[in-house]
């Protein structure tokens, strides 16, 4: 990634939802790597399933994700009062005096809920971040990780996944950050998850519909 002020148009090829066969192929590959995978119809089903997967009162950290925002999942977790939501506490903390506390609370929650930039038909999850602050929980810090993934994020392999980050996700996120903050986004950290070693830790909710970047 780069930090250029130029924002290019996203690549249309990465906006098309994967076929049922490709979803099943990605799901099978992820399962062979130790991830739990459920193919769900849409975000409505994902919101219902999350309530079943996460017990009330659990400490939950949500990534900064358009998938979570657009689906309503962000509000379900951070504004419902059902969970010990980390993100509101982190945003309210003083970054000058509580930086270490913010870092720790984001890194080791009971649950992390996030999306990904791409999932490959060979069984990898790819997360991209500008600061890296939301990656430790997904990498292994959280006791449980749940990723909600739109069908358009399924790609054949790792090369295509990295192209999707550069050519599709980054331009869209940069347009969002320019509008919100006056500066483009960048990817300074990439996390590639190929295998889940702890049974039941990592769950992928793979949707049949497109949502998010």
Given a contact cutoff of 8 angstroms between Cβ atoms, the answer to whether 81 and 73 are in contact is no
Say how far apart CA 197 and CA 77 lie, in whole Å: 26
162 inside domain: yes
Q: Is 72 helix (H, G, I), strand (E, B) or coil?
A: coil
80 inside domain: yes
- Res. 118: pLDDT tops 90: yes
127 inside domain: yes
Give the H/E segment covering residue 161.
Answer: helix 158-164
213 inside domain: no
Given a contact cutoff of 8 angstroms between Cβ atoms, the answer to whether 136 and 86 are in contact is no
Name the percent of the chain in helix, strand, coil, to the closest 5: 40, 20, 40
> Could you read off the pLDDT of 21-52 as tens digits, one per residue?
999 999 999 999 999 999 999 999 999 999 99
- Res. 7: pLDDT tops 60: no
Query: Domain of 72?
Result: 12-207
In whole numbers, what is the pLDDT of the chain averaged over residues? 94
Residue 8's pLDDT is: 60
- The CATH number assigned to the domain holding 201 equals 3.40.50.10420
- Res. 153: pLDDT tops 60: yes
Give the H/E segment covering residue 189.
Answer: strand 189-193
174 inside domain: yes
1 inside domain: no
6 inside domain: no
Given a contact cutoff of 8 angstroms between Cβ atoms, the answer to whether 190 and 158 are in contact is no
Closest CA relative to residue 176, chosen from 63, 61, 7: 7
Q: Residue 211 to residues 41, 173, 182, 197: CA-CA distances in angstroms?
A: 12, 14, 24, 28
CB burial string 51-76: b at 16+ within 10 A, e below: eebbeeebbbbbbbbbbbbebebbeb
In which band, very low, low, confident or very high, does the pLDDT at 72 lie, cut at 50, 70 and 90? very high
Residue 88's pLDDT is: 96
Please count the structural domains in the chain.
1
């Amino acid at each position: 990634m780069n930090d250029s002020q130029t924002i290019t148009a996203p690549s249309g090829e990465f906006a098309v939802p994967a076929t049922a066969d490709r979803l099943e192929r990605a799901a099978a590959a992820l399962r062979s790597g130790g991830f739990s995978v459920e193919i769900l119809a849409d975000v409505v089903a994902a919101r219902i399933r999350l309530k079943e997967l996460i017990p009330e009162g659990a400490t939950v950290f949500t990534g900064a994700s358009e998938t979570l925002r657009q689906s309503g999942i962000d509000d379900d977790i951070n504004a419902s009062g059902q969970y010990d939501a980390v993100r509101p506490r982190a945003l309210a903390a003083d970054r000058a005096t509580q930086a270490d506390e913010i870092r720790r609370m984001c890194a080791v929650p009971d649950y992390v809920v996030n999306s990904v930039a791409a999932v490959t038909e060979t069984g990898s999850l790819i997360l991209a971040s500008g600061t890296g602050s939301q990656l430790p929980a997904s990498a292994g810090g959280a006791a449980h990780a749940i990723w909600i993934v739109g069908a358009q994020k399924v790609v054949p392999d790792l090369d295509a996944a990295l192209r999707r980050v550069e050519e599709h996700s980054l331009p869209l996120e940069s347009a969002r950050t320019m509008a919100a903050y006056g500066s483009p986004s960048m990817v300074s950290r990439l996390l590639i998850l190929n295998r889940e070693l702890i049974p039941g830790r990592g769950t992928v909710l793979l949707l049949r519909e497109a949502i998010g970047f």
